[in-house]
Amino acid sequence: MIKAAKDGLIPTPMRAMLRIVCTALVFVAGTGHAQMSLLPPACASLTGPALDKCVRDITVEQMVPRLEAVEPPPADPSKTQNCNQVLRADQTFCIGRNEIILHCKSAARNADFMGCFTKYIPNVAKPALANCALEPSDRRGECAARNRHYGACLDAPLSYFLCVGNQGRLPERMLKP
């Protein structure tokens, strides 16, 4: 650092600014050198299109491994549902179902999740036929499909939303709660 700054002749705010400027200069000088060292020696003096061609010519083509699709995890029927995203006709059932799931998942209170769930689910109001005219226009198709299949899905209240979303069929791969 400058001798005048060490002797206290430069006020404190200016000393701080001088320190920041010196640090920035050291940083910029260091990164400039690091960037240049990434270039192959044969291309170090080139710029623009010539540099691009030089780097492309040196780079060896590599085979990219073929990526395989990963199978999605099995559906978990004991997950709570976002009740703001379901149709109006299902919201009351959704809220009651979520409350029961949260209550029954508490291991301290209930060791048997399915036993607890089947005990409380009959007390929840079951969904009825939805009035699709009340739904937004972009969800009316979903509402009509739900009305066709909701009766069959009521037989399994834990997986009701998975069933309705799958047009009346349960997914083949499902986690056991």
Amino acid in position 79: K
The string of pLDDT tens digits covering residues 97-140 is: 999 999 988 867 778 888 888 999 999 988 888 888 988 888 88
For 58-96, give the secondary structure using H, E and C.
HCCCCCCCCCCCCCCCCECCCCCCCCCCCCHHHHHHHHH
Q: Is the pLDDT of residue 8 over 90?
A: no
Mean pLDDT of the chain: 78
> pLDDT tens digits for 70-105?
777 777 888 898 999 888 889 999 999 999 999 988
